Amino acid sequence: MKKKFKIIALSLLGLLIVIQFFRIDKTNPDTVVENQFTVVENPPAEVADIMQRACYDCHSNETKYPWYTNVAPVSWIIKNHINEGRHEMNFSEWGTYTNSRRHHKLEECLEEVAKGEMPLRGYVVWHDEALLTPQDTAILFPFWRKAMHSYAE
């Protein structure tokens, strides 16, 4: 029994070592300044600051990769979340969205944050600065609503 356990443990350790050679791409895509949310919407500094600390790691081309993104398979999971986040909404590509898409995305921002679904709980565990306080939402929501209404059809 001990021998079998030792073989399994060594095999798992070997596998863990081997998968470290399969690194994620940490290159952020280039961004056209004119397409950035902060340029298109010109938010107050406090709105931009809140969004950058709570949203931009997954929803922009400005991702900051922490040390643990060097450890597989955690890095693969995080990269998948980043790819999904950018696919759903990318504040670095805001200027390329149609007005109806902007309206819809702002509506989703309001809903997701109001329900406590954004930022993701798993993200906030490691990035407590991303946790949105009631004061943060009191600053974000009026700005998002105003911007959303400017895109209403």
Q: What is the pLDDT of residues 99-108, one digit of tens each?
A: 999 999 999 9
Structure tokens at 122: 């798993």
58 and 86 Cβ atoms separated by less than 8 Å: yes
Structural domain spans, the chain: 25-150
- Element of type H or E holding 109: helix 99-114
122 HSE (CA, 13 A, CB side): 6
Which pTM was predicted?
0.86
Residue of 87, 77, 93 lying closest to 31 (CA atoms): 93
* Digit-coded pLDDT (tens) for 49-95: 999 999 999 999 999 999 999 999 999 999 999 999 999 999 999 99
